Amino acid sequence: MNTTTIEVQTTLDSTPSPSIRETSLSSAQIIGYDHQQTVGRITVDNPKMVCRDVNVYYAKKCALKQVSLDIGTNEVISFIGPSGCGKSTFLRCLNRMNDTIPICRVTGEIKLDQDDIYDKSIDVVQLRARVGMVFQKPNPFPKSIYENVAYGPRIHGMVNGKAEMDELVHESLERAGLLKEVESRMNEPGTSLSGGQQQRLCIARAIAVNPEVILMDEPCSALDPIATAKIEELIDELRENYTIVIVTHSMQQAARVSQRTAYFHLGNLIEIGETDQIFTNPRHKLTEDYITGRFG
Ligand SMILES: Nc1ncnc2c1ncn2[C@@H]1O[C@H](COP(=O)(O)OP(=O)(O)OP(=O)(O)O)[C@@H](O)[C@H]1O
Ligand SMILES: [Mg+2]
């Protein structure tokens, strides 16, 4: 019989063994709708962030249920799934942006390296410098292009003097692939740039404070295909130095930019795996329905 080994995550322990029970299935066999646990290997060898048993409530409503997942160092991981399934909610857990929503409550454990990011001792401003965020709609500050990038390093006291700041601003814009386009207009407002340029400015702003992880919530949904291609190229380059988590509604984008993909459905993490496997050989029926366009 043509068989393949898959891992079904059965407990939330971070050690791959014995928490992962290996199940032999026919390659044609698919896990049915009623299977409740995450399918696929949630652990990685070199995790940057480790999330265990994460639940999120908006008042009494549970929006994210028992999500456990590692995010690997220098990987790009995509979160996909139908609208309202909890992708942004989970993304916001990773740098405590949910703290800004009064009715929102997060339980479980999320670690960045060895640090429990929900520990009382954590400085949330520092955390958000380590775990930066780029939003769906480009949101430059109402300041000059230069100041948009210089703002973070200044409030974090990262540089001494103008020459150092100039260097950091230029380097961040260069890394975001924007320097050539804005070199001669540094004092113009950030909002005077095109949508795609504004999004790269926001990426430059995130990079300037030297983050370790960059969270991107549908960063290209307001952009045309050319601007989108530039951001995707950039994501690929940035992976050398950063860990990137991207929420996207475009399965083509997830396939182009990410090494692993996580599929969410109604607040559950249904399946996680190598991006190729998720798109060519999904193991859960719900994942299959979504990628074949039967749902969402
Ligand atoms: N601030 C909030 N207050 C109350 N409920 C919220 C809030 N934000 C999200 N929710 C609810 O939590 C659930 C998950 O929402 P979330 O925004 O995380 O979904 P999503 O997967 O990012 O969807 P989309 O693809 O539409 O952006 C939804 O039912 C949503 O209505
Ligand atoms: Mg969202």
Q: 217 C-alpha to center of ligand 2: Å?
A: 7
CA-nearest residue, atom 16 of ligand 1: 86
Residue that the structure tokens 């950039």 belong to: 234
Residue 158's pLDDT is: 93
pLDDT tens digits, 217-258: 999 988 889 889 989 999 999 999 999 999 999 999 999 999
Q: Is the per-residue pLDDT at 5 higher than 60?
A: no
Tokens encoding 169: 């601003």
pLDDT level of residue 296 (50, 70, 90 thresholds): low
pLDDT tens digits, 174-214: 989 999 999 999 999 999 999 999 999 999 999 999 999 99
Residue 82's pLDDT is: 96
Task: Compute the distance between CA of residue 172 and CA of residue 158 in angstroms, rounded to an integer.
Answer: 14
Q: 102 C-alpha to center of ligand 1: Å?
A: 14
Going by C-beta distance under 8 Å and a sequence separation of 6 or more, which residues neighbour residue 197? 178, 181, 182, 227
63 lines ligand 1 (CB under 6 A): yes
Ligand nearest to the CA of 264: 1
Residue 36's pLDDT is: 76
Which is the closest atom of ligand 1 to the Cα of 85?
Answer: 21
pLDDT tens digits, 65-84: 999 999 999 999 999 999 99
Between 277 and 224, the more confident residue is: 277
Its pTM surpasses 0.85: yes
56, 90 in Cβ contact below 8 A? Answer: yes
Bridge partners for 273 per DSSP: 261
Please provide the distance, in angstroms rounded to a whole number, between the alpha carbons at the two ends of the chain: 34
pLDDT level of residue 15 (50, 70, 90 thresholds): very low
Q: 199 C-alpha to center of ligand 2: Å?
A: 17
CA-nearest residue, atom 26 of ligand 1: 83
Q: Is the per-residue pLDDT at 1 higher than 90?
A: no
CA-nearest residue, atom 19 of ligand 1: 84
Quick one: angle between helices 145-155 and 161-175, nearest 10? Answer: 120
Q: 7 C-alpha to center of ligand 2: Å?
A: 28
Task: Compute the distance between CA of residue 107 and CA of residue 258 in angstroms, rounded to an integer.
Answer: 27
Task: Compute the distance between CA of residue 81 and CA of residue 242 in angstroms, rounded to an integer.
Answer: 24
88 lines ligand 1 (CB under 6 A): yes
CA-nearest residue, atom 7 of ligand 1: 58
Q: 50 C-alpha to center of ligand 2: Å?
A: 21
Strand order in the sheet with 268-274: 131-134, 213-217, 243-247, 76-80, 260-265, 268-274
